[in-house]
Structure 1
Amino acid sequence: MTGVVNPLQVSRFLRVYDGAAAQKGIKLSIGFDFHEYVSITGATPTKGPTYPNFRPDRSPIKSGDGYWIIGVDKYDEVALLEAARLYDLSHSNFAEHLHSLKAFYADPTVHAHPQDRCTCIAPSAKKITGKVAYHGDLWVRRDFRGQGIPKIISGIARGVSFAMWAPDFVCGLVPRWRVDKGVVAQNGYTHCEPGGSILQLVAYHIVDDDWLIWITGEELRSEIDQR
């Protein structure tokens, strides 16, 4: 994606979502140290396992190529989490990246379990190339669910990803129920397809059959410019 990022426009975009979080009693922060992130997620009750693509011992993230969002309540207790990273798929595509397990491990031959596997049959995944911002590991504490929090954190993540990377695509993998309930559309993703990730990661007890969701870089720029 080409074009200069307008910091003022991004600031206006982010302020809307940051203000919405504050109205819910949540203070948002952004971090870049993924060792710290894994420490936080590991100490967060009811949160499922953090996927290896956000674990620096399995898939190191270079400085500037990833960030995470944390929201705390008035007692400074963790209320929400999400992480994002940039994939350079200029010589590959998202389907291939998933199938090879390189989306999860820096070196699958070293870190993957022999029974780990990932199948991606979503047709559009092969067209997702270039600078790809991947958003995942979303968790919202039970007492904050049903209040539109995912929409808020998704907005923050899209704005930050645009400001940092101006990506060609922003994508994620979600369970079907989020699509069926309209959560994906509410969170700003305009495209979705089944068969995004039929996944098994043995060491993390992860078994998924997720949909692929995405927006293009131009769609993201248009969204931000309209603020």
Structure 2
Amino acid sequence: MTVQFPSNAAPFIATSGSILDAHKIEITIGSDFDIYSTVIEEERPAQKLGDPFNPELHDLNAENGFWLIGRNQFGELIHTQAFKTISLSDVALSSYLMRNFQKFPPPIPGVDLGRSRYRASPGAHRISGEAVYHGEVWMAPDEGLYRGTGLSSVLTRAGILEAVDRWDPDWIFGFMLRAVAFKGFSERVGYMHTEPGALKWAVHGREQLLEAFMVYLSREDAKFMLDIPVEELVA
């Protein structure tokens, strides 16, 4: 089933555009991941480029990936996110990740892939078909200026809408560290399903494992979520 978005998305596009204009934020969308890699290296030094979107590891182009960045009125980077397609035509996401979860490590140094593990959550067994992986979600750490204002809700939904418009995927999924999920960030950025315990990442020199939740949306979930008035989410 294909969900038609143009008429449904029009209010979101108009309202989100007005909100971003009011905050003097300009977004740019592109598919040249060499450019994106340079932006991250030069302007987001606190968080390295994630492996799933590293052009040295993957052949990423306009057909299978895009990034979205936001800049403030001074041209400073204040937001990033990225998406890429994953075909699950003959396998469930659970089986795919059993073999490939090491390709989605958190963007921190010292991850011990040998001691890390993936546990299939219920939703992963149901997800198949054409899927999109969503990652690289970051907001500049200016408490009260960008974070905690609801702008992440607007910006992330803009990315999800772009993914739906480009690919009309069956599913969109990502991973979120437990500490972030516990703050309600998954709901704020628009994910309607959150499953704990999906990933446990070991870090060299650290005994406690880092837990990551899997978050996801179906095509129908995305339509429902993008129909919610976005102005109600912004402070």
User: Structure 2 CA distance, aligned partners of 1:28 and 1:46?
Assistant: 20
User: Corresponding residue for 2:16?
Assistant: 17
User: Structure 2 CA distance, aligned partners of 1:103 and 1:157?
Assistant: 25
User: Corresponding residue for 1:108?
Assistant: none
C-alpha RMSD of the superposition: 2.5
CA contact (8 A) 1:47 1:139 kept: no
Match of 1:187 among 181, 186, 189: 189
Summarize deviations over 1:56-82 as a string: whole Å, max 9, x none: 211222432111111111111111111
User: Structure 1 CA distance, aligned partners of 2:115 and 2:54?
Assistant: 16
CA contact (8 A) 2:32 2:61 kept: no
What displacement does 1:115 show? 3.5
User: Structure 2 CA distance, aligned partners of 1:30 and 1:114?
Assistant: 32
User: Structure 1 CA distance, aligned partners of 2:153 and 2:73?
Assistant: 20
User: Corresponding residue for 2:93?
Assistant: 94
Flag structure 1 segments of 5+ consecutive residues without an equivalent. 106-112
User: Structure 2 CA distance, aligned partners of 1:152 and 1:40?
Assistant: 22
**1:75 has 2:82 as partner:** no
Q: Secondary structure at the match of 1:211?
A: strand
CA contact (8 A) 2:117 2:200 kept: yes
Counterpart code for 1:92 = V
User: Structure 2 CA distance, aligned partners of 1:47 and 1:150?
Assistant: 19
Question: Equivalent pairs: percent with the same residue?
Answer: 22
Q: Relative to 1, partners in 2 of residues 1:98 and 1:50: Cα closer, same or farther, differing over 3 Å?
A: farther
User: Corresponding residue for 1:137?
Assistant: 136
Match of 1:164 among 163, 166, 173: 166
Q: Which residues in structure 2 correspond to 1:33-72 (within 5 Å)?
A: 33-72=32-71
Q: Relative to 1, partners in 2 of residues 1:141 and 1:7: Cα closer, same or farther, differing over 3 Å?
A: same
Normalised by the length of structure 1, the TM-score is: 0.83
Normalised by the length of structure 2, the TM-score is: 0.80
| More off after superposition, 87-96 vs 10-19 | 10-19
User: Corresponding residue for 2:109?
Assistant: none
CA contact (8 A) 2:200 2:212 kept: yes
Q: Relative to 1, partners in 2 of residues 1:29 and 1:215: Cα closer, same or farther, differing over 3 Å?
A: same
What displacement does 1:98 show? 2.5
**1:146 has 2:135 as partner:** no
What displacement does 1:226 show? 6.5
